[in-house]
């Protein structure tokens, strides 16, 4: 027996919801569409896998980097500072003539046409400069192995030393002992150098190499070291000859030919 609605149509069975989920329709097979257990791991069913924590990137630690850069800059500065005396203007890496030319006040007699004869001659010689920077000279040179002479030496022997490349540092006779010691410390033990007083010198200090001269008022003048560094040995006209042996006596009178023969054979 059927029950008719006012419209005359038969009503369908109502769907009853349990716990918010629709119940299976009549006749639905277990595990079929719309029924059965949800797939493992699917939406709305089963435990979820734990997710790895997301790492938040940290900013760079600039402290060690800045320190490293600072140390590098300092190291480069030290290297440049150490190299500058050699490769900077007038440094030892430059030709000695160029270094000499950059010494303020130096007189280059080689370049100004002054004739500087090189022959050996006996007896006292007359020189245009005081102290002399070249010219005829005795057959024996003055020993110039960093010698410190406490009295005047013969010009004729000193000029021969200049020919070998010596720098002759001279000072006015009577200069205070402490100032003489300053000059001595610049010469003592250095080959191709020597120190001696000169009577009637017009300046407290005068430096000579063959064809070069520099006169100064102060024993602490930095140009003294520059002159020695640039010209000692380099200004030689006889590169094959050194400064050993030679005359070591003081006094302004040069050795005679007979004395040279007695002391040194046929001369040097």
Distances (CA, A) of 67 to 64, 71, 85: 5, 6, 29
Determine the distance from the C-alpha atom of residue 195 to the mean position of all C-alpha atoms in its chain, rounded to a whole number.
Answer: 30
Q: Is the pLDDT of residue 43 over 70?
A: no
The span from the CA of 21 to the CA of 25, in Å, is 12
Task: Provide the pairing of β-strand 167-172 with 205-209.
Answer: antiparallel
Share of the chain above pLDDT 70, in %: 71
Question: Rounded to an integer, what distance in angstroms lies between the CA atom of residue 245 and that of residue 175?
Answer: 28
Question: Tokens representing 148?
Answer: 């410190």
Strands (E), the chain: 17-18, 21-22, 107-108, 145-148, 167-172, 193-198, 205-209, 212-216
d(CA 118, CA 134): 7
**pLDDT tens for each residue of 179-231:** 999 999 999 999 999 999 999 999 999 999 999 999 999 999 999 999 999 99
Contact 158, 113 (CB under 8 A): no
Place of tokens 């006012």: 6
Q: What is the pLDDT of residue 87?
A: 47
Q: For residue range 215-225, list pLDDT tens digits in order.
A: 999 999 999 99
């Amino acid at each position: 027996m059927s029950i008719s609605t006012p419209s005359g149509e038969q009503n369908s069975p109502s769907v009853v919801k349990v716990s918010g989920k629709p119940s299976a329709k009549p006749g639905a097979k277990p595990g079929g569409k719309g029924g059965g257990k949800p797939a493992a791991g699917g939406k709305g069913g089963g435990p979820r896998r734990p997710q790895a924590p997301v790492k938040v990137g940290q900013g760079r630690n600039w402290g060690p980097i800045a320190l490293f850069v600072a140390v590098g800059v300092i190291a480069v500065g030290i290297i440049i500072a150490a190299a500058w005396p050699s490769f900077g203007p007038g440094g030892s890496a430059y030709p000695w003539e160029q270094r000499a030319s950059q010494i303020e006040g130096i007189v280059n007699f080689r370049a100004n046409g002054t004739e500087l004869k090189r022959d050996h001659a006996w007896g006292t010689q007359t020189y245009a400069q005081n102290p002399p920077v070249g010219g005829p000279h005795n057959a024996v040179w003055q020993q110039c192995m960093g010698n410190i002479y406490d009295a005047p030496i013969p010009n004729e022997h000193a000029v021969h030393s200049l020919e070998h490349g010596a720098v002759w540092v001279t000072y006015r006779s009577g200069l205070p002992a402490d100032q003489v010691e300053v000059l001595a410390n610049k010469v003592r033990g250095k080959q191709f150098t020597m120190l001696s007083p000169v009577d009637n010198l017009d300046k407290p200090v005068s430096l000579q190499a063959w064809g070069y001269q520099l006169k100064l008022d102060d024993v602490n003048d930095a140009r003294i070291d520059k002159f020695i560094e640039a010209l000692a040995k380099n200004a030689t006209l006889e590169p094959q000859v050194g400064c050993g042996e030679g005359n070591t006596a003081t006094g302004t009178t040069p050795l005679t030919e007979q004395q040279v023969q007695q002391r040194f054979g046929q001369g040097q």
